[in-house]
Structure 1
């Protein structure tokens, strides 16, 4: 027991949440990867690969949580330029997956630069906010620096992955609110975003279907997803419903509708054989189908618990950088989880966002493990500083008591 305490330091609740998510991931990916099993002809290959990645991820968490969080401030210096270069390369020469160029092949391994870019932005924004805090509000120049970095990264991500760019920008906006960026700056930003959004919608409506124009080819997909989500389907008779027209959403709805309180139990999903991304984008639908409303609710509680616990760690953290870093990471993870779950249950259009630490993945899983390690690093060193402070206070108190006893003895003598 003492050995485990020495190995796994930091906030114990974060460790528990992380391990629960990993266990759910192994069970559900093993069940949901039937299409991969069919393609590869190997029953164990998909889950073996995923389990190895998760084990490497646990090692990544352990190594990261041993690093003093102050060293993370240096990461954006080299990671932001690298991310920009990689994003430019992936837009120009990236491998196409599901109609989008989001991946790069490096030595035969697929790599998603947008995951590194998200990390670079979150750490950079945390550093800028920490360095520009003043008595009443943040220095206005912080807004300028944040917009330069975030705007450039999001502009490079958006053409091929609009949902990721929107998610990242939304998290940065929340961080700026927490970081006390002047309200007038945020109001101008909201107005600008609204204008850009209206312009983008107008351009999307004008772009012809199946266009081959670079940077515009994804607009057809965006338009179709919004129209399919907005079009009323409640009045369509079941016999006339086109299940192949929007197969992912339809089969996700079937998976949820055929579930119950306790579900069909792991391994008994039917819709996993029809959902093309059952092990990734729509894994929450499979979780509900197999584990029921109880299992789905438990997953939701884990993410909410993660955000609450991270908030407590941020509150106790020593220094502004640690506070903003923990809040930025937790907001990113939980916002992405909420987006994925909302897609699975049909509350928002399809976005292609994986469920953090549960969906099958390589780059995203390892980066998410780094995020967890960073939160644990802050909690570990915060607790260490508190212990050192309390021990110093105890020594001072003991010294004071000893001096009083000596004075009392001398007065009696």
Structure 2
């Protein structure tokens, strides 16, 4: 009887993707490291492969400047390897610990405030800050920490505190997004939109959301109107230096229908990026020119970042472009399936918020490449070249996998009252009989109490 018990595998571990490989060896080691939903892992690996191939092809201008053929791709590969480490770390942490994202949010707000004063300017924007020689993008840290904080507050919502928590959520969203918008408007709009959708999913009262939406639309219309009347001399330097960029993007996108055929096919400084993106897409056809054969990568200034989707279509064709689009749709659908199976609200909102951030940002990048919306500067998650953005994107995957593992584990535990205590401790690491979990519960209650008290 004892022998049989020793070889039995917990069904909960089998369902969550944590089952050991029956073949042992390398397969068993990998299954112990790469736990969680296999569909999410598969999409992640496919995106990494596409990223390596396309970044190697699209960084020709950087290779020419640096005179180093392998430098850009090795740098990107190192960030992807680091991203895998981030996923492995995060997806082994129980979701309860991510309630502390509110403290990371406070740190990111401080960094955002300091960035205009001590930040590094790239392409006319001060979005990066250097700490001990390491360059980071505070807005990316603010995105994931604000999303996690909103998810946490939504999970603590009830009839007695919903008004207070709603004010906290809106206040944090407005405060963070206004600071980001001063130098990165598209990221601010994306972040606010995702958090707003998360609040809608989190059963915040509809009349509250409609009021916020009405005020937001009014402010947006007023902002667009002001862009049209602000004199050009005010936008040359200082706090309004980015306004000139916003004006040009809106004007160039809006006058598309007013162009003659000759002006439409004339490449100027104003339409340079969009025109070459269109050429890249038209060159791709159905099946593309095959990786490494792009011509527009030498003309598009951000071929490896903002417009990498155009390069993907040029080299992999419309078929390849649709395949990449479907990968992000799979993330969204799979996240919805995971969220439905979780028993706790916090991991449910973490999964949905992470998936919405990844997929909506990807859709925005693709829409810019095909000229459906004005240029925004949003990278294609996990595929575009970038340091902070790559690592934070991997953190989103880690959050989804963590919520899948431990959220699903809680459900299995409730369904199976005879589950071995040892297995429970494996899913919720503790060196003192569950003391860390109790500490985190106490931390959540304390944070909630302090928020309501304020």
Does 2:183 correspond to 1:157?
A: no
Does 2:238 correspond to 1:214?
A: yes
Q: Go from structure 1 to structure 2 and tell me whether the alpha carbon gap of 1:392 and 1:107 turns closer, same or farther (over 3 Å shift).
A: same
Q: Which residue of 2 aligns with 1:7?
A: 33
Q: In 1, distance between residues paired with 2:324 and 2:281? A: 15
Q: Which residue of 1 aligns with 2:429?
A: none
Structure 2, gaps ≥5 residues long: 1-26, 421-454
Residue 68 of structure 2: which of 24, 42, 59 is its match? 42
Does 2:40 correspond to 1:17?
A: no
Q: Which residue of 2 aligns with 1:181?
A: 204
Q: In 1, distance between residues paired with 2:71 and 2:111? A: 30
Structure 1 residue 322, shift from structure 2 partner: 0.8
1:57-107 Cα shifts (integer Å, max 9, x gaps): 01111111100111001121x212211110011123321111111111223
Q: In 1, distance between residues paired with 2:104 and 2:93? A: 17
1:233-265 Cα shifts (integer Å, max 9, x gaps): 663227961344321101000000111111000
Q: Which residue of 2 aligns with 1:331?
A: 356
Q: In 2, distance between residues paired with 1:321 and 1:243? A: 50
1:343-382 equivalent positions in 2, closer than 5 A:
343-382=368-407
Q: Which residue of 1 aligns with 2:113?
A: 88
Does 2:226 correspond to 1:200?
A: no
Structure 1 residue 389, shift from structure 2 partner: 4.2
Residue 172 of structure 1: which of 184, 189, 195 is its match? 195
Q: In 1, distance between residues paired with 2:158 and 2:323? A: 38
Q: Go from structure 1 to structure 2 and tell me whether the alpha carbon gap of 1:133 and 1:305 turns closer, same or farther (over 3 Å shift).
A: farther
Q: In 2, distance between residues paired with 1:199 and 1:389? A: 52
* 2:288–2:314 contact (8 Å) kept in structure 1: yes
Residue 226 of structure 1: which of 244, 250, 274 is its match? 250
Q: In 2, distance between residues paired with 1:252 and 1:279? A: 12
Q: In 2, distance between residues paired with 1:344 and 1:198? A: 25
Q: In 1, distance between residues paired with 2:362 and 2:65? A: 28
Q: Which residue of 2 aligns with 1:276?
A: 301
1:121-160 equivalent positions in 2, closer than 5 A:
121-134=146-159, 139-160=162-183
Q: Which residue of 1 aligns with 2:82?
A: 56
- Higher mean Cα deviation, 312-321 or 24-33? 312-321
Does 2:106 correspond to 1:118?
A: no
* 2:195–2:353 contact (8 Å) kept in structure 1: yes
Structure 1 residue 387, shift from structure 2 partner: 4.2
Number of residue-to-residue matches in the alignment: 392
User: What TM-score do you get using the length of structure 2 for normalisation?
Assistant: 0.83
- Higher mean Cα deviation, 85-94 or 216-225? 85-94
Q: Secondary structure at the match of 1:5?
A: helix
Q: In 2, distance between residues paired with 1:154 and 1:385? A: 34
* 1:140–1:181 contact (8 Å) kept in structure 2: no
* 1:28–1:266 contact (8 Å) kept in structure 2: yes
Q: Secondary structure at the match of 1:360?
A: coil
Q: In 1, distance between residues paired with 2:350 and 2:408? A: 17
Structure 1 residue 290, shift from structure 2 partner: 0.2
Q: In 1, distance between residues paired with 2:240 and 2:221? A: 16
> RMSD of aligned C-alpha atoms?
1.8
Q: In 1, distance between residues paired with 2:419 and 2:94? A: 25
Q: In 1, distance between residues paired with 2:109 and 2:347? A: 25
Q: In 1, distance between residues paired with 2:271 and 2:411? A: 55
* 2:47–2:382 contact (8 Å) kept in structure 1: yes
Q: Secondary structure at the match of 1:20?
A: helix
Q: Go from structure 1 to structure 2 and tell me whether the alpha carbon gap of 1:129 and 1:240 turns closer, same or farther (over 3 Å shift).
A: closer
Structure 1 residue 394, shift from structure 2 partner: 8.2
